[in-house]
Amino acid sequence: METFNLEPLLSDTSISVALYENVTNASKLKTLIKDGEIHAALIKAEMVLDVFQVLVASSKAFYAKTLNKLKTKLIYTEILFNLSPSNKISECFKLFGVEDEATCVLVVARKEDFSEVDKHVEGDICPLSKLDNLCDKQYLKKLYKVTDEELKVCSLTDCVVSQMAAKEIR
Amino acid sequence: MNLLQQGAEARLFAANFCGRSCIVKERFPKKYRLQEIDEKLTKKRLSQEVKALQRCRKAGILTPIIYFVDTTRSIIFLEKIDGETVRQHIVSVRKMQEDSSYHSIYPMAREIGKILAKLHDADLIHGDLTTSNMIIKTSDNKLDKKTNEIFLIDFGLSFSSSLAEDKGVDLYVLERAFLSTHPNSEELFSVLLDAYKDVSKKSSSVLTKLEEVRQRGRKRSMIG
């Protein structure tokens, strides 16, 4: 689990990001979030290449909330929306949201809320560096339409992040 | 966040974004413009810059990564490239030469020519090509000078076009910038153009147009 400050946009907001494996209650966690009992985003670990991807999506979501410009209902669903190249909300949830039977889950929550969320997760916390092994890079490359020409000049993470950040500009 | 530069169009700040050093580019409102026009123009420039940065990367050109875009405040967060502008580099390298020649900069000029060839072959026009809009990244391995990477920046005036005229003008702007900033750099620029010609698949019409545009400039007699 690592904590990050969302400066310079929101220097008084910090988030905690944690990777869990051998999770047995993904479905229950989703319900708890939907019901507002816990406040966190559950992200499909196989879709995350680097924690920076999640930080960019989270910064955008928390910032949009301060301006009252969320496109989805919650900050936590907004994070999923921001991670996706698509503008269709349902597609974003399908691609980046966690399935009921999922065993690898990436959790994002406000620093203050994290311990509460952690209590509910039935799984083993592991280092974020494991994301590199878990990630389906080929799929991500295809989803974001990253070409080999692009990869000569920057990393896959950077290509993905750049597209995520520029999503509204078409 | 600290202010790095205040230009006519935007303010640049240095900041740390999620653990990475970045540049924050803020296009501030221009009071000398009519508000309605200012808002539209600023949004357009932001949009052009973002689109151009993405397209450059797809064409295999080094540009800063976009980290965050705020269309409401016309702010963009970009990857900070460690290094100096090509302008500063040329000035400092030339100072070190006893004969003030540009010979040691020829490889870099060739590299720039190649990059511009890729840009124009992708039908992208930079719109403001100067040696201050190119950054030469300080390579991590100080011994390996051959791997100095050159990044193109500042795409606010960019647009897409397949016209040789637009590409010719793009090169002409750079030529004027070279000649006015770096004295006696005609040969340096022609080295750049040679590399452009070698790499570009559409160079002949562009170079013809460049010659035409040169004839048009200030203090030129328009005898055709």
For chain B, domain boundaries: 2-79, 83-216
Q: Are B208 and B164 in contact (CB under 8 A)?
A: yes
Of B17, B61, B69, which has the smallest distance from its Cβ to A153's Cβ?
B61
Measured at the alpha carbon of residue B70, what is the angle toward residues A93 and B9, in degrees to the nearest 5? 155
Find all residues with CB under 8 Å of B45, minimum gap 6, and list them.
B9, B27, B156, B157
CA–CA distance, A99 with B193 (Å, rounded to integer): 56
pLDDT of residue B223: 67
Mean pLDDT value across chain A: 92
The distance of A56 to chain B (nearest Cα, Å) reads: 7
> Is residue A140 predicted with pLDDT exceeding 90?
yes
The pLDDT value given to residue B147: 59
Look at B68 and A56 and tell me if their CB atoms are within 8 Å. Answer: yes
Q: What is residue B152's three-state secondary structure? A: strand
pLDDT of residue B52: 95
Angle made by CA atoms B170, B208, B110, in degrees to the nearest 5: 60
Cα of B178 to nearest chain A Cα, Å: 26
Average pLDDT over residues A141-158: 93
pLDDT of the residue at B142? 56
Cβ count within 10 A of residue B197: 14
Chain B environment of A147 (Cβ under 8 Å):
58
Q: What is the pLDDT along chain B (224 residues), one digit of tens a residue?
A: 889 989 888 999 999 999 899 999 999 999 999 999 999 999 999 999 999 999 999 999 999 999 999 999 999 999 999 999 999 999 999 888 888 888 899 999 999 999 999 999 999 999 999 999 999 998 765 555 555 799 999 999 999 999 999 999 999 999 999 999 999 999 999 999 999 999 999 999 999 999 999 988 777 766 65
Q: How far apart are CA B145 and CA B136, in angstroms?
A: 11
Q: CB of A68 within 8 Å of any CB in chain B?
A: no
Q: Is B2 exposed, middle or buried (0-12, 13-18, 19+ CB in 10 A)?
A: exposed
CA-to-CA distance for B143 and B195, rounded, in angstroms? 25
Report pLDDT for B153: 95
- ipTM score of the complex? 0.92
Does residue A55 sit at the B interface (CB-CB below 8 Å)?
yes
Q: Shortest CA distance to B168 belongs to which of B152, B52, B176?
A: B176
Q: Which residue type is seen at A16? A: S
Percent of chain A scored above 90 by pLDDT? 85
* Topology of the domain covering B83-216: Transferase(Phosphotransferase); domain 1 (1.10.510)
Q: Are both B2-79 and B83-216 of the same fold?
A: no
A28-47 pLDDT, tens digit each: 999 999 888 999 999 999 99
Active-site position among B38, B70, B128, B166 = B128
Q: What's the rounded mean pLDDT across residues A73-94?
A: 92
Tokens of B183: 């004295």
Q: Choosing among B3, B16, B67, which should be mutated to test the A contact, i.e. which has the most A CBs within 10 A?
A: B67
Which amino acid makes up residue B22? C
- The CATH number of domain B2-79, selected from 3.40.50.460, 3.30.200.20, 3.40.50.300, 1.10.357.10: 3.30.200.20
Give the separation between CA B168 and CA B208, rounded to whole angstroms: 8
The answer on pLDDT for A116 being more than 80 is yes
The whole-number pLDDT of residue B212 equals 92
Q: Residue A38 is inside which H or E element, if any?
A: none
pLDDT at B218 (0 to 100)? 72
The string of pLDDT tens digits covering residues B119-147 is 999 999 999 999 999 999 987 655 555 55
Q: What is the pLDDT of residue B1?
A: 80
Clarify whether B128 is annotated catalytic: yes
Task: Say which amino acid occupies A148.
Answer: D
Token couple for B109:
């000029």
